[in-house]
A and B are shown apart, each in its own frame.
Chain A
Amino acid sequence: MNFLLRYILISIFIPGLFISCGQAIKSEEVASEQFVVKDFNPTANWKTDQPLYLDYTDAITRGFIIPTARQVEGGFFKLGFMLKNTGTAPQNFCFKIYYQNESYKFPERDLADSTRQHPDAWENFYGSWEEVSTTFAETGIIPADGDFHAIERSFRIVGNPRNEQRYYTGNQNDRWKRNPRVGNYSFMLVVTEEINVKQNIIPQYIQNVGMQHEARFVNPWFYFLYGAGPSLKNTIVQRSSKLLKVIAIPDPGAGIYISPGAFSKEDVDKLKVSHCGQDSMLYRTAAFDQFFHYVDPATKMNNIPVIADVLNGPYSRMDYNWNKRFYRKEELVAVTATVTKQPCETVISDPAEHKITLRNPKSEFGKWQKQNAGVITRHGLTFGKYTLKCKLTELLNRNNMWNGVTNAIWLITQAQADWNFRRDCNNAGYMANYYGGQQDQRVKNVGYSEIDFEILKTVPYCPSWVLPPAYFQGIDDQNNVQNWNIPFPEEILADDDKIMVSCTNWDMACWQPADFTDGCYPVHHENKTIWAHRWDKNYRALTQKTPERDDELFGSKYYYFQIDWQPDKIIWRIGPEKEKLRVVGYMDDKVTSIPNNQMLLIVTQEFHNTKWWVGSAYSQDNTPFPKEDYVGEVYELTIE
């Protein structure tokens, strides 16, 4: 073999071997006046490019820990680098590891003034040693012998890395209240002379990430990369090219926990349902709770007394029209949507198939019900790309008649407590309450946040000249079928086989975004125009709607729904495969206040009062009670 060929083969295979074996990519040699650093590897005991899946065991109480003892021996990353003392005397050096979530962060620098920290960069998820009071670690005395010395230490990524008091309960650091974010983590090693630490030349609020400066946290990444850090003497800042990818995959087959707030232990223990309940094992390991809707009494409606298998039967528009005209009020059944009276009855976790089944139970004569069903994740996260693979119930039958169900995949605030407040709204404030009216007071902070996919049969709200459609009005004249069997307007029929994918961000009417407004207006994203709608300036939510074929979303084996919640934007995508997603909603911080608190994901099949969906062609109260269960299945949730 000639030299050239050997060279080519070696060039191809040797790096490949390193990469495939998961060896760390080593950092370059960087020198200061007094020392040289090389081979910085923040996670020597973790294979490069191997994603880390969040360990849900006990995360409910301890928060997510990266890594856990189940993932690496000892439960800590091994940080390592080589240091050579190039000075004239032996020295003790100081070093510190910083990590930061890169996927969901604000840029460190202010876009308008790069010498200043971005006003929201302090929100980024960054940290260092778990004990914030351990400022810089020491290398020990390194002789000036011209040799590199290996330095090692361990660390891990935990919730509330700045030990902020807002996440404490008494003396207990509830790290789960500020869980590590998913996505890519980068690592920064700072090695410096002792004097810079001891004499606080590196400010204390940088040495200790838990300390604030002028009542604000200072992001050490800003400090060391763009602030005063680069001018520090004898300080080497090394950024590892190695990124740690963190993914959460809450297992639908890991059981369903029933929160004591919803049902007492005695009630739950009576059930003896496997993989669903209130026992301590499920408390430690289950990724989902059963979700119990709050039912607003104002959604009470008088429903037709018809029980029908809308999805599988021949239910038609003529049935709908007849039912609308020819039942007397006295024959109607006053109902609201309900929630189950028995836990674990309508949600089933299957550990073999790793799926959750949702069932809106059927009605019987005398037991008329439109019962919601759903599950909610138990571990809050801030930001992330939530991708749900599921087959939720179909919404339209072969005659394109709606069964009254709204399939919803939504994020909701984990708690409306102080610790989970959104960032300040500095223009008039947020509307204080989710359920408040127009006259609700405005406040600087709220804990409420919600980001929705709500998929149901309704109409677009935009442009402004399309709402509502001009519906024909029937009368109860049995002697002329044309008087009661009224056609829908053509624009409704044009979307007959479609359901509306409604994407909503509940920004609580914070007026701070530069382009905040009401009414209908186009939002442009990647050559696509998506109309956004807000009823008025005090309306708490901004919605975008896209009609999609019911058969495609809920008639196929499964479908993907993704909420890509980023610090400055939210993107809603759907598609038949994870690699084939398309955008159906886009909002950024120019038009809406993007939440930054911790949220949970909910998957529900629910019955909405269509009065809240103005202009809908079909009304919930004129939609039959289900004769058969409406079944949905959740196969996979990935948060990355």
Chain B
Amino acid sequence: MTKKTKRLLVFGFLILCSVVVLALGLKYFPFTKVMKMPSGSEQVFVDPQKIRTLSPNTLYFDFEVAPGKEMPGGFYKGLAHSGQYSVKAFGQNSFSVAVERTAREIGVQNLKAVALSAWIYVFPTKNEVKGSMVFTASNELGVNVCWEGIGVVEPEVPQGKWFKVSKYFDLSKVQFKPDYKIQVYFWNNSSTDILVDDYTIVFGGAVDRRGDSAWVDMTKPAGYTPRFNYPPFPVSMLEKEMTGTRSKLAEISPADNMIAGNFMNTGHDGLFIINTHGLPAVYAFCSETSELRKITLTNPSVIAPVQRVKKLLKGRFLGNQSDQLIVSGDKGWILGTFEPVPNPCNGSGTQQTNLKILWKSEAPAPSIYTGDFNGDRQTEILIISDDGSWKVMSFDTKSNAGGSWKIMAEDDHDPVKDWNKSTQEVGISVGRFLPGTASDLILTVVKRKGEQAYSYSLRKLNFSRMRWDPLFSEKQNYAGKTIGPDTLKPSDLFFILSAQPGNEAKVYRYNRSWRYDLKEIRFNDTTFRIVSDVDFQGFDKDRNPKYYETLTLVPGYFLSPSAGKFLVIGSVAKERHYSSILPDFVHLYAIPNQK
């Protein structure tokens, strides 16, 4: 090889390298480091109102300057996609105001992808338009590690009008570190004047669903083969009943403590509420107009001695047709009965009642439950201490003054282990969970500390032996089997209601640990079976109760003593400004008839 040839080769190689470096440099050179890019405090040009309503992992800049503030450099007044201000990139190699963040601020985990959008205005020109909405990331040394752009290039770039640009960039190949700097700006690479407005930057990409994989595969030749307690489940619907307009719904919030019962001996259930401020209220449900009517409680201070109220219970302790109320609070608990209001729905005037205290405790109750544990159609109370010791008492009206609690059964130094709260999280519910039982049962759901698994049991009071007999067999270690992915949890609420006379009572399990999840279930001597998912229908617009942030279901027999309904109360936090989309509500929903 001659010297000349060598020189030519070296020269050629250098030219080639220069071209490559230039090409890469154009893209990756940190112009933003050497060019003066306009910048300003974001506080100046971000509308806090819009920030509040942004979707997760989203940045939005409308570049509106707060009244009275000086217009920052790089801004343009009088022509904007929204508001009055936009940012400018005028002339060859000009840059708009850049939005800057560190990867730490965004969260490295949210930098797997980014979607950008902005509105562009090109002033009418005869020059070729060329520019890019740019996303860059640079490392601690200021060297670009990522450059992505939405090219705005001829042909047919609109002029003299706003148009939107958008794109999605997969960033999964970039290894972000917390101190990496991220910038978003518009780069004008043409001799034109360009305005930009309303940057939207969405980090993270699509969020995957929870879970593993679908169990039902209809593409297999066998199609769907039902699998006990495995989803999907049939869906049954709670049907909205017409409700009147006179109910003072604003007074009822799902955060209130409330209970339905036939407190005023009207023949069907009304509502007793203690709101979040500790104020009690009584409502009768007027079946003819299907609305709640407030009954003035003449002695609201009667519950003051037990405040703060933790739990409301009801029962027929006196042996008559009406329900009595137990209010259990931090300082004690009381048993009371309401003065009957025979026709609470008659007339337009305000009706009133008072709560007569039948009994008052000296100290707070550890945990208190009500039920007909011996099947005599009279309600007893079950008091369970944190160590699992217990006693069952009935209210004896024959004794002194207003009456007293008489112990019917109690543990003989042999507490129920499942009820010991020191070693586990415990949920206790009372009801006729098994069809055909003459007395109420106790459903206990526990999660032992330090363990992932949940277990549950059903117990029936054995009066003669003074113990709660487990209904599941010894073979199952006295616990119900859990089959399928749905597990009963201590936080679950259980409701038992009949749709109409003659219908078997339905058992509902309500869980909100992740989402609205109401299921009809059925217990047997081995396990529980999921009968259906329960949804709502008949609501206005798209105001499905399950979409509410807070949703309380109050079971009761509001219209008749035999037709079970749910009083459903929903609300969304005020700061969402969702009152026109999901207004707070109180509605009655009927449970479906048995087919």
Query: Does B bind A?
Result: yes
Tell me the A residues contacting B by CB distance below 8 Å.
Answer: 297, 300, 302, 305, 307, 314, 316-319, 322, 325-336, 338, 365-369, 399, 463-483, 485-487, 489-491, 521-522, 529
A-B contacts, 21 listed (Cβ < 8 Å) = A318-B547, A318-B581, A319-B544, A326-B516, A330-B214, A330-B485, A331-B232, A333-B217, A335-B219, A365-B232, A368-B216, A463-B156, A465-B166, A465-B167, A469-B115, A473-B204, A475-B207, A480-B549, A481-B578, A486-B55, A522-B156
How far in angstroms is the closest Cβ of chain B from A610?
13
Contacts of A487 in B (CB 8 A): 55
Contacts of B78 in A (CB 8 A): none
> Across the two chains, which residue of chain B brings its CB closest to A462?
B156
CA distance A368 to B224 in the complex (A): 9
Q: Tell whether B245 is near chain A: CB-to-CB under 8 Å.
A: no
A300: which of B219, B226, B541 is its contact (CB, 8 Å)? Answer: B219
| Contact indicator B202/A334 (Cβ below 8 Å) | no
Give the segment of B3-11, B147-155, B171-179, B417-425 that binds chain A: B147-155
| Contact indicator A489/B549 (Cβ below 8 Å) | no
Contacts A331-B232, A470-B116 given; 17 further ones with Cβ under 8 A?
Answer: A305-B231, A314-B541, A326-B516, A329-B211, A329-B213, A330-B214, A330-B230, A335-B219, A365-B234, A366-B226, A468-B168, A470-B200, A472-B55, A476-B210, A476-B515, A490-B164, A491-B164
Q: Which 10 A-B pairs have the closest CB atoms?
A: A329-B211, A316-B542, A305-B232, A472-B55, A328-B211, A470-B115, A470-B117, A465-B165, A332-B214, A334-B217
> Across the two chains, which residue of chain A brings its CB closest to B82?
A490
| Contact indicator A474/B56 (Cβ below 8 Å) | yes
| Contact indicator A481/B168 (Cβ below 8 Å) | no
Contacts of B168 in A (CB 8 A): 468, 470-471
> Across the two chains, which residue of chain B brings its CB closest to A531?
B156
Contacts of B116 in A (CB 8 A): 470
Please tell me the size bucket of the interface on B.
Answer: 35 or more
> Across the two chains, which residue of chain B brings its CB closest to A327?
B209
Tell me the B residues contacting A by CB distance below 8 Å.
Answer: 53, 55-58, 115-117, 133, 150-153, 155-157, 164-168, 200-202, 204-207, 209-219, 223-224, 226, 230-232, 234-235, 485, 512, 514-516, 541-542, 544, 546-549, 572-573, 576, 578, 581-582
B151, B166, B204, most chain A CB atoms within 10 A: B166
A330: which of B58, B212, B514 is its contact (CB, 8 Å)? Answer: B212
How far in angstroms is the closest Cβ of chain B from A316?
3
| Contact indicator A482/B576 (Cβ below 8 Å) | yes
> Across the two chains, which residue of chain B brings its CB closest to A483?
B56
How far in angstroms is the closest Cβ of chain A from B193?
18
CA distance A316 to B582 in the complex (A): 13
How far in angstroms is the closest Cβ of chain A from B226?
7
CA distance A490 to B150 in the complex (A): 18
Given the known interface contacts A305-B232, A474-B55, A481-B582, the answer about A330 and B211 at a Cβ–Cβ threshold of 8 Å is yes
| Contact indicator A473/B55 (Cβ below 8 Å) | yes
Contacts of A307 in B (CB 8 A): 235
CA distance A483 to B53 in the complex (A): 9
CA distance A332 to B213 in the complex (A): 8
CA distance A475 to B210 in the complex (A): 10
| Contact indicator A328/B549 (Cβ below 8 Å) | no
CA distance A489 to B200 in the complex (A): 10
B116, B168, B204, B230, most chain A CB atoms within 10 A: B168
> Across the two chains, which residue of chain B brings its CB closest to A479?
B549
How far in angstroms is the closest Cβ of chain A from B484?
10
Given the known interface contacts A465-B150, A473-B202, A474-B207, the answer about A485 and B212 at a Cβ–Cβ threshold of 8 Å is no
Given the known interface contacts A329-B213, A463-B156, the answer about A322 and B58 at a Cβ–Cβ threshold of 8 Å is no
How far in angstroms is the closest Cβ of chain A from B575?
9
Contacts of B215 in A (CB 8 A): 330
How far in angstroms is the closest Cβ of chain B from A624?
11
A333: which of B150, B216, B581 is its contact (CB, 8 Å)? Answer: B216
Contacts of A332 in B (CB 8 A): 209, 214, 216, 232
How far in angstroms is the closest Cβ of chain B from A332?
4
| Contact indicator A333/B55 (Cβ below 8 Å) | no
| Contact indicator A473/B56 (Cβ below 8 Å) | yes
Given the known interface contacts A465-B152, A466-B166, A473-B57, the answer about A336 and B219 at a Cβ–Cβ threshold of 8 Å is yes
CA distance A305 to B210 in the complex (A): 15
A481: which of B164, B167, B231, B547 is its contact (CB, 8 Å)? Answer: B547
